[in-house]
Amino acid sequence: MTSRHPLLDFIRRFFQVWGVVLRQLTLVARRRLMGRPVLGHLLLREAFEKIGGSFLKLGQIMSLQVDLLPKEYCDALLSLLDRVPTSSREEISGVFVAEFGRPPE
């Protein structure tokens, strides 16, 4: 769902991402307390890849926070530094047309 205002879209996506982050960190805490393996780090990386945009950059920044996040999370997010999914020229051109009313050329 997109609105006509880019800031509202950004805020909506921001809270989607933080909802995923908080759910995954809660899952990690619960699984560790129960002595179970933790797999949430892979889901978190995939969420950042799916949402894309500036949230990929947020995932890249989080990958370097080894003092705040569990090692497996940092390791999974490190792949966002050099293995980011690409966008086609048509997708990028479509965003320009939607936002500015004309192609980037």
The CA dihedral of 96, 99, 101, 103, to the nearest 10 degrees, is: 0
Number of domains in the chain: 1
Instruction: For residue 17, tell me if it sits in a domain.
Output: yes
The residue among 85, 103, 84, 105 whose CA lies nearest residue 94 is 103
Q: Report whether 52 contacts 85 (CB < 8 A).
A: yes
Q: Report whether 63 contacts 81 (CB < 8 A).
A: yes
pLDDT of residue 4: 72
- Domain that residue 15 falls in: 6-100
Instruction: For residue 54, tell me if it sits in a domain.
Output: yes
Q: Report whether 80 contacts 60 (CB < 8 A).
A: yes
Instruction: For residue 18, tell me if it sits in a domain.
Output: yes
pLDDT of residue 2: 53
Where do runs of H (alpha helix) occur along the chain? Answer: 6-33, 40-51, 54-63, 71-82, 89-100
Instruction: For residue 88, tell me if it sits in a domain.
Output: yes
Instruction: For residue 1, tell me if it sits in a domain.
Output: no
Instruction: For residue 75, tell me if it sits in a domain.
Output: yes
pLDDT of residue 69: 80
Instruction: For residue 105, tell me if it sits in a domain.
Output: no
Residue-wise pLDDT tens digits, 19-64: 877 777 777 777 777 766 556 677 778 777 777 777 788 888 988 9
